Amino acid sequence: MRASVTFEEVQDAVILWAEEREILDQEPRQQLLKTMEELGELVAAVLKGRVYDEVDAIGDVLVTLIIYCEMRGLCPVRALLKAYNEIADRKGEVKDGVFVRAE
């Protein structure tokens, strides 16, 4: 794949990869468990300060979520846009490194 691609192009490649390996025929819950596994690897990479592994783990989490969305007939871009639209105008403050929305 070339260096400059769109999210949708990568998404299509991930879905094709999953189809070829019959992952899409599996139970969606199994894909969520795989997402949790990859998320654990991301946390481990962050805690160890391994940026290269962190980037790899973020990619792995995204791959598992793209596959899950395909299994459920959902669009990850629409899901991201929905989440952003919900938070876009939120007010709040950062406490202990985490954004806490105002009541």
pLDDT of 2 strictly over 80: no
88 within a domain of the structure (yes/no): no
Answer whether residue 82 shows pLDDT above 90: yes
Tell me, yes or no, if the pTM score tops 0.85: yes
59 within some domain: yes
User: According to the model, what pLDDT value does residue 68 have?
Assistant: 98
Q: Is 96 part of a structural domain of the chain?
A: no
Say if 51 falls within a structural domain: yes
Judge whether 15 lies within some domain. yes
Identify the DSSP state of 5: -
Q: Which domain holds residue 54?
A: 7-78
pLDDT for res 29 = 97
- Over the stretch 29-78, which tens digit does the pLDDT of each residue have? 999 999 999 999 999 999 999 999 999 999 999 999 999 999 999 999 99
Tell me, what CATH number does 63's domain have?
1.10.287
Q: Hunting for tokens 């691609």 — which residue is that? A: 5
| Domain count of the fold of the chain | 1
On whether residue 100 sits in a domain, the answer given is no
